[in-house]
Amino acid sequence: MNAHPLSDRLVGIDVGGTKTQLAAIDDAGDRRDVVGPSSDWRCGHLFSDRENLPRLAAWIAARTRIDEATTIVIGLRDCDTDADIELACSTLSATLGHAVRVENDADLLGPAMGVDHAVAMVVGTGAIVSARDAAGRRITADGYGWLFGDWGSGPGLVRDAIGRVLTATDAGGAAEDDGLILALFHHFDSGNAAELAAAATTVTDPLQLGEAAPLVFAAARDGSALARATIDFAADRLAEGVAAVIRRGGLGERVVAAGGVIVNQPMLRDAVRARLAGHEHPLTLSLLDVPPVEGALRLAASVAV
């Protein structure tokens, strides 16, 4: 029996907003999977704490057996520009003492599905649409964070829903009986619009704000016009993002979607699918049916060949 564990040949890592998943294949072809909360190493936005990337490198090092022949590919949320990717790549490579390839986590979706050219759509704690053009350049729409964008994400839905509730209460009339108003008042422990606005404004963690997103879908199922409008507008923005990426040269005959909101909320998913089907050049929407880390592992295998 070999007393020394075999080195890892391929390492794929998917870093999302809530969890970090690692898959490694060693010299014998045996696979090992590890999943942990991203909060184990991450504080805030990826680049808001200079120790985030070194902590991620330490997290990886503690769970892998790297040697000079190991190929590592990481799909990393918040790497939204070439400069972000270059910084993450150089920092992680230097800290690990081993070269790594870094992609945005959305760019794992196509490879995970075995599709060469796909438009990736991630709608969960954040939201972004991404594709590559014929020269391999990355083209994106949204992904601007919960304060100004991320339409359709949990925090983005709640932000928009609160705005609609505040407008409806100002207008008065029948709109004040909409079920979304009471649901958000209750969730934020508020008795009126001013208290709701104050309570929501104090929330600094987008994950905390996103906790109210299921209330939007529940209210829509119960007939809330405000909730339905929130979902429809999010679907509009997501479909417009796909159209924009294609118009700017992004390649893809299908949209591959992942993320907790679009996977678990058929109301939003069906609305997006209907809008994509109505495009000048209709596109199908497929849910990613394997973990995104499979895309990182496949990219690692393609690099290692």
8-115+290-304 — its CATH code?
Answer: 3.30.420.40
Global pTM reads 0.84
N- to C-terminal Cα distance for the chain?
A: 29
Name the helix (H) or strand (E) containing 23.
strand 19-26
* Residue ranges matching CATH 3.30.420.40 in the chain: 8-115+290-304, 154-287
Please name the fold of domain 154-287. Nucleotidyltransferase; domain 5 (3.30.420)
Distance CA 258, CA 123 (A): 6
Q: Is 122 helix (H, G, I), strand (E, B) or coil?
A: strand
Neighbours of 49 (CB within 10 A): 14
Q: pLDDT in tens for each of the 305 residues of the chain?
A: 455 678 999 999 999 878 899 999 999 999 999 999 999 999 888 998 999 999 999 999 999 999 999 999 999 988 888 899 999 999 999 999 999 999 988 899 999 998 888 999 999 989 999 999 999 888 999 989 899 999 999 999 999 999 999 999 999 876 678 999 999 999 999 999 999 999 999 998 888 999 999 999 999 999 999 999 999 999 999 999 999 999 999 999 899 999 899 999 999 999 999 999 988 888 999 999 999 999 999 999 988 76
